[in-house]
Amino acid sequence: MLTTENLLMNKLLDQDNIKLNLPVKLSYRVLENVLREKLVGEQIGMEDSKGMVKNYAEVLGADLGKSQEANFDITLNLKLKTLTSLFKNKEVSLLIHFSLGFNEVEQVIDIKEFELEGQSKNWLVDNSLETLANTLIYNKVKNKMKLDLKPHINEHLSKANQKLENEMETAPGVFLSGNVNTLKVTEIIPGDSLILILLEISAYGFIDVKEIKL
């Protein structure tokens, strides 16, 4: 027969008794390091009618920061080395200003809008680079910048629930148990040096005091 305490506990555990809106700071430096790992050394090209790949540029470096352009969130400064016969081994910079989009249902962050800006001293290189960027570089960067949060969320959710499955001693004689039912991103807010990610967490839990040490 269930005791009054057990009945009350079962009723409480039928509902999420913990609801949190938790801000998470993600600095541009962290994102910059991830992008460098993904982009540096990449060659940008396309297949011709014969199926041969012609490379136009190689990524030498990438810097990320707040965009100074209106209506854009972040600027990616790509350092490129051209590989075409006409402009071989020219080092140029290309600024990509973009605004971030977020799909809450799919939990995906991606590029919503963009604008390109060449920075070499050679006008002809700039114009050739801009044409190249519109057709090739943007697509590559867009793919690299797309971030599906679901796998990361599910991984952390699983790890958290594995720890909560068994009692966790949070202090001498004090134990925490429970389960996180929902963990999702509700909003992203680009700032001056970081992106603020708002997490919504729904869970149930309880604390079992087994010993009081005076």
What pLDDT shows up at residue 123? 41
pTM of the model: 0.73
Quote the crossing angle between the two packed helices 28-39 and 138-145, to the nearest 10°. 120
Amino acid at the residue 129: L
Collapsed DSSP state (helix, strand, coil) of residue 206: strand
Rg (C-alpha) for the chain, rounded Å, is 25
Handedness of CA 183, 184, 189, 194 (dihedral sign): positive
HSE (side-chain half, CA atoms, 13 Å) at 69: 16
Convert the pLDDT of each residue in 12-28 to its tens digit.
Answer: 655 677 888 999 999 99
Amino acid at the residue 77: N
Handedness of CA 121, 125, 130, 133 (dihedral sign): negative
What pLDDT shows up at residue 185? 94
What pLDDT shows up at residue 56? 77
Which residues does 72 contact at the CB level (< 8 Å), separation at least 6? 97, 98, 99, 113, 114, 115
What pLDDT shows up at residue 142? 77
Convert the pLDDT of each residue in 101-160 to its tens digit.
Answer: 999 999 999 888 888 776 554 544 555 555 666 666 777 777 777 888 899 889 988 988
Rounded to 5 degrees, what are φ and ψ at 129?
-65, -40
Q: Are strands 43-47 and 53-66 parallel, antiparallel or unpaired?
A: antiparallel
Amino acid at the residue 98: F
Amino acid at the residue 211: E
Measured distance between the N- and C-terminal CA atoms of the chain, rounded to whole angstroms: 35
For residues 141 and 80, what is the distance between their CA atoms, to the nearest angstrom? 13
Domain coordinates in residue numbering, the chain: 4-25+150-209, 28-148
Amino acid at the residue 147: L
Tokens 């590559």 belong to which residue?
140
Average pLDDT over residues 50-62: 82
What pLDDT shows up at residue 124? 43
In the numeric block, which tokens belong to residue 135?
């057709």
